[in-house]
Amino acid sequence: METLTVELIHQPHFDRHYQLLAPASDLLLYIESYWMLDLRNPQHQQSRFVEINLAKLQSILIVNLGNPFEVFGRQGERVYTCTHSALVGYHTRRLSYKHQFGNYLIGVTFHPAAANHLFRVQGQELMNQLLPLDVLLPNASLLEAQLAEDGYPATVQKVLNTWMRLLVGRATPDSRLGYVQQALQPDKLHGANYFSRQLASLLCVTNRSLERYFKEHMALSPKHCLRIQRFRQALPVYGRYGSAIDWTEWGYHDFSHFMKDYHHFMVDLQPDDAIRSNKSLSPNDLGL
């Protein structure tokens, strides 16, 4: 039986399997982190796990240097077998990855809207989509070769910094992107109590302008994006402490308000006690 792990809840699992690397300081506006997942060691021969990603606004560049991995949709349907490198767009619904022995992935997690901007892809083309990297980068094979040549983290970090700087250097400056990026920063979200009108006021723009900026870059309304971010920030707190917290601190009126989002984003992820206690969920719990 596979081990099923939910991001934001089973963090120790991801700490064991993923190696995080920091991007260069001049890239932090666009990139959240680099990471490596290497399951080629013989000790991982029996390793099989499904990584469940909830709705998220970050797009991820995945360089595949090992065996294929599979991507599943909300209802457990296989939507893609990833044999090559790809850009996984931000998604408004659950997405799952099946990992096993022989997987070797190197990734770049972008801040919201950054990948759209750097790869010159419209929001509607990237949202809930997976795009082959060689379509976006004609010389993607060179990137793969450089990363495969030396798997030391310092070398991986250096190669990724070089390539990401090339993307940033060719991108056209966009002040509207800056408003979207600022709007989704945790301090701004907390300051606006996750209300788009208050957020627009904090950013000194009209609510209509903020709506337009989000639709241009994300193909989503600020309200939709803020709902996803609010849930992602509140869920780990719920997983750790249960319902006995001040929900207004996380943008909710009360616990029942949070549970509406919980059932919307966590559909089929049951039972509650398995989630709160960090137990592994069974495949039947997810319908996979």
Q: Which CATH number goes with the domain that contains 22?
A: 2.60.120.10
Judge if 147 and 17 occupy the same domain.
yes
Q: What is the pLDDT of residues 165-207, one digit of tens each?
A: 999 999 888 888 999 999 998 888 888 888 899 999 999 999 9
Judge if 137 and 180 occupy the same domain.
no
Residue 65, pLDDT score: 95
CATH code at position 185 = 1.10.10.60
Judge if 98 and 145 occupy the same domain.
yes
Judge if 187 and 145 occupy the same domain.
no
Domain total for the chain? Answer: 2
Task: Determine contact, residues 98/70, Cβ cutoff 8 Å.
Answer: yes
Judge if 153 and 226 occupy the same domain.
no
Judge if 218 and 255 occupy the same domain.
yes
Nearest to 156 by CA among 118, 111, 107, 114: 107
Other CB atoms closer than 10 Å to residue 139's CB: what's the count?
A: 11
Judge if 112 and 230 occupy the same domain.
no
Q: What is the pLDDT of residues 245-277, one digit of tens each?
A: 999 989 999 999 999 998 888 765 443 333 333
pLDDT of 219 above 70? yes
Who wins on pLDDT, 144 or 192?
Answer: 144
Picking from 112, 137, 170, the residue at the C-terminal end of a domain is 170
Query: CA-based angle 15:60:110, to the nearest 5?
Result: 90
Residue 116 CA to its chain's centroid (Å)? 14
Residue 287, pLDDT score: 32
Kindly indicate the confidence band of residue 286, based on its pLDDT and cuts at 50, 70 and 90.
Answer: very low
- Average pLDDT score over the chain: 85
Judge if 125 and 24 occupy the same domain.
yes
Picking from 109, 139, 170, the residue at the C-terminal end of a domain is 170
pLDDT of 114 above 60? yes
What SS3 class is residue 93?
A: coil
pLDDT of 222 above 60? yes
Picking from 140, 170, 200, the residue at the C-terminal end of a domain is 170
Domain residues for the domain of 36 are 3-170
DSSP state letter for 221: -
Residue 269, pLDDT score: 47
Q: What is the pLDDT of residues 21-72, one digit of tens each?
A: 999 999 999 999 999 999 888 877 777 778 888 899 999 999 999 998 888 8
Judge if 45 and 155 occupy the same domain.
yes
Judge if 152 and 203 occupy the same domain.
no
Residue 4, pLDDT score: 64
Query: Which amino acid appears at position 88 of this protein?
Result: V
Average pLDDT, stretch 138-152? 92
Residue 254, pLDDT score: 94
Residue 271, pLDDT score: 33
**Predicted TM-score of the model (pTM):** 0.86
